[in-house]
């Protein structure tokens, strides 16, 4: 009897372990399921921001597993509303502005359950985008200010002033280079000695003595 009881326990443990292994190997995941939010029923371009009373909101579920689907929408007031999918598409009602969250649960035999979540926002109106104010009206054309965005501080001449400065600097640099080249060439040329004319002696003309004049004086 004892041997029979031991064999029964061994057989029971073996069958339970085998069944557990079978269950583990047969459990699958909804890896290829995809949930998107968009403004048209084709959902070619997923979106996350919509405008109240202007945009329609659709939820598209790609489910190649034909799972059991249940979905709820959590509105800005933290209230849950059921959402029905038909052929993988659902029309989402968002009557007030705020942040919404859609939760979709997938279940099927031999599959691990999965909950998919996605969030989107509904704006009351289209936001107006204004340009950043760069002009401070201080009479000085500061960095970032141009004639287009700040004509009070900048003029067309000031916008092109840097071009004139660059041109002037280039001209000055060219002149300096020319002067340096000329000076170097001048230094390399050998100096020719100056030939002075030979000094000519100056001899005063001697007056000849006339003896006849001497005799007359006597």
For 132, residues 6+ apart whose C-beta sits below 8 A from its C-beta are: none
On the question of pLDDT at 47 being above 60, the answer is yes
Quote the mean pLDDT of the chain: 79
* Between 95 and 161, residue with greater pLDDT: 95
On the question of pLDDT at 4 being above 90, the answer is no
On the question of pLDDT at 205 being above 80, the answer is no
On the question of pLDDT at 25 being above 80, the answer is no
Length of the chain as a residue count: 218
Cα 126 to Cα 26, 45, 53, 122, 215: the distances in Å are 50, 19, 11, 10, 144
Predicted pLDDT at 27 = 86
Is-contact 48 56, C-beta < 8 A?
Answer: no
On the question of pLDDT at 203 being above 60, the answer is no
Is-contact 127 102, C-beta < 8 A?
Answer: no
Report residue 8 as tokens. Answer: 């029964």
On the question of pLDDT at 116 being above 80, the answer is yes
For 140, residues 6+ apart whose C-beta sits below 8 A from its C-beta are: 153
* Between 93 and 141, residue with greater pLDDT: 93
Predicted pLDDT at 32 = 94
Predicted pLDDT at 22 = 44
On the question of pLDDT at 213 being above 90, the answer is no
- Residue 81 — very low, low, confident or very high, per pLDDT cuts 50/70/90? very high
Q: What is the 3-state secondary structure (H, E, C) of the chain?
A: CHHHHHHHHHHHHHHHHHHHHHHHHHCECCCCCEEEEECCCCCCCCCCEEECCCCCEEEEEECCCCCEEEEEEECCCCCEEEECCECCEEEECCCCCEEEEEEEEEECCCECCEEEEEEEEEECCCCCCCCCCCCCCCCCCCCCCCCCCCCCCCCHHHHCHHHHHHHHHHHHHHHHHHHHHHHHHHHHCCCCCCCCCCCCCCCCCCCCCCHHHHHHHC
Predicted pLDDT at 122 = 96
Strongest mean pLDDT among 13-17, 66-70, 127-131: 66-70
Predicted pLDDT at 49 = 95
Model-wide pTM > 0.85: no
Predicted pLDDT at 18 = 47
Compute CA 176 distance to the chain's CA centroid, rounded to the nearest angstrom: 43
- Residue 20 — very low, low, confident or very high, per pLDDT cuts 50/70/90? very low
User: Of 19-23, 82-86, 126-130, 144-148, which gets the smallest average pLDDT?
Assistant: 19-23
């Amino acid at each position: 009897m004892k041997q029979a009881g031991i064999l029964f326990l061994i057989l029971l443990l073996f069958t339970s372990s085998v069944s557990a292994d079978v269950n583990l190997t047969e459990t699958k995941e909804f890896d290829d399921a995809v949930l998107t939010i968009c403004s048209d029923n084709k959902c070619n371009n997923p979106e996350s921001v919509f405008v109240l009373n202007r945009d329609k909101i659709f939820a598209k579920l790609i489910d190649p597993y034909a799972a059991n689907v249940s979905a709820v929408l959590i509105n800005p007031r933290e209230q849950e509303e059921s959402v029905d999918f038909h052929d993988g598409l659902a029309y989402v009602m968002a009557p007030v502005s705020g942040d919404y969250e859609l939760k979709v649960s997938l279940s099927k035999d031999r599959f691990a359950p999965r909950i998919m979540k996605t969030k989107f926002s509904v704006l009351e109106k289209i936001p107006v985008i204004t340009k950043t104010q760069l002009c401070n009206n201080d009479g000085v054309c500061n960095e970032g200010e141009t004639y287009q965005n700040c004509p009070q501080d900048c003029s067309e001449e000031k916008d092109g002033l840097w071009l004139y400065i660059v041109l002037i600097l280039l001209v000055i640099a060219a002149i300096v280079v020319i002067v340096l080249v000329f000076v170097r060439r001048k230094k390399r040329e050998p100096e020719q000695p100056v030939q002075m004319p030979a000094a000519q002696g100056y001899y005063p003309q001697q007056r000849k003595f006339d003896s006849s004049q001497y005799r007359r004086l006597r």
